[in-house]
Chains A and B, each alone.
Chain A
């Protein structure tokens, strides 16, 4: 017996990713009734809750060794600012009339999957953009049932924009965490002077993450530790 869904779920999508998948967004809106907001997320393709990032990769991208360095870097960056990281492996699209290529499973592909699982990444397999949208909507709903749904306004205007940039500079702070900070603290001063518990509750982050932010705000600057710049430069 699931609790009744009082609010529609919300998903943030990266503005750079839309070129690659406009169907995913329209499908989310029209078929699944998901509120979507396009933002400059930078680090990931989608944010489905206060703690979960979703990266979308095609089967050919993930099975090509050329991409491994970039994929690894991206996954590591996501783990730096999200407690949950999910990867959707999507079947490559075929153009009309084109015969779909048979996927040749390689040892390399298997080793990538094994390493991703060991790194704690959740894997999902999709047959195309529509399927990907369904998976994203389901992820967001599961996260909503666990009380991690995105629940703040997702548009940033005026004064808040500058503040958002400041919060995004803090270590381990994702776009959704920065948004929560913007909306749940009455001022930057309020956030900077909050105790760890207050930070964790307001920013909707785990205690270790709140501790990291707390330390950073109180970390003292040492002029001697700056790299020396050439005189007159």
Chain B
């Protein structure tokens, strides 16, 4: 491979995908019709498709998989050359599926890249279109992404886990010792003044019983 292995900073406009010149006329590109506009470019090096400014697809064909380790060299070279999020799309067919576990182990465990199997070029076409579509969506619309902003665990909820402490006693205790930190540092006498001797002992016991030999 001549020149740079990866071109940094390739950013397709909305609804477009930057395609390596070698895929012109392929079934994958034909499958984009009506969903995605392809921009063909030379000099993309190892990358087959640029989805956005930070993510790209490298394609491993059935024959590439069956032929042996050529694709590995390519993927290692990509990993070393860039920090782009690489999605490796691999043709998993009846002929190549026996090689799939090894590819997965190599790509995911050793290189830490994403691997997605497809059965054919037309499936790859659908998948790439979907990946591009998803890139342009707002993060807030992703159902799998947790909304930021910590939820608070009320001290009451925590105090209820202490043996002998129900809702009434938890509220009484927290009126005097508002946080779990303060409650843990209350003396037996201070606790007794609020909840009585038995519960006071139970609370002290909960915080101070030795659990593990300190290391």
Contact = CB atoms under 8 A, between A and B. Distances in A.
Contact of B133 (A114, A169, A185, A186): A114
A18 interface: no
Contact of B156 (A114, A160, A221): A221
Contacts of A121: 144
A147 to B, nearest CB: 16
A188 B126 contact: no
Interface stretch (B18-26, B39-47, B146-154): B146-154
A80 B117 CA distance: 28
Nearest to B135: A118
B159 to A, nearest CB: 9
Q: Specify the main secondary structure of chain A where it touches its partner.
A: helix
Interface residues of A, number: 63
A72 B145 CA distance: 8
Contact of A166 (B101, B114, B161, B181): B161
B144 A116 contact: yes
B142 interface: yes
Contact of A111 (B134, B162, B175, B206): B134
Interface residues of B, number: 60
B143 A186 contact: no
A122 B150 CA distance: 23
A80 B134 contact: no
Contacts of A117: 87, 114, 131
Interface string B190-215: 00000000000000001111111111
A94 interface: no
B81 interface: no
Contact of A169 (B101, B161, B181): B161
A192 B180 contact: yes
B15 interface: no
B185 to A, nearest CB: 7
B144, B153, B179 interface centre (most CB from chain A within 10 Å): B144
A189 B207 CA distance: 5
B96 interface: no
Contacts of B13: none
Interface string A172-199: 1000000000111111111011000000
B151 A186 contact: no
B215 A184 contact: yes
A22 B34 CA distance: 46
Contacts of B162: 166
* 7 A-B pairs with least C-beta separation: A119-B144, A114-B134, A72-B143, A110-B130, A220-B178, A166-B161, A221-B174
Interface of B: 87, 97, 100-101, 104-105, 108-109, 114-119, 123, 126-127, 130-131, 133-135, 139, 142-146, 150-158, 161-163, 171, 174-175, 178-182, 184-185, 206-215
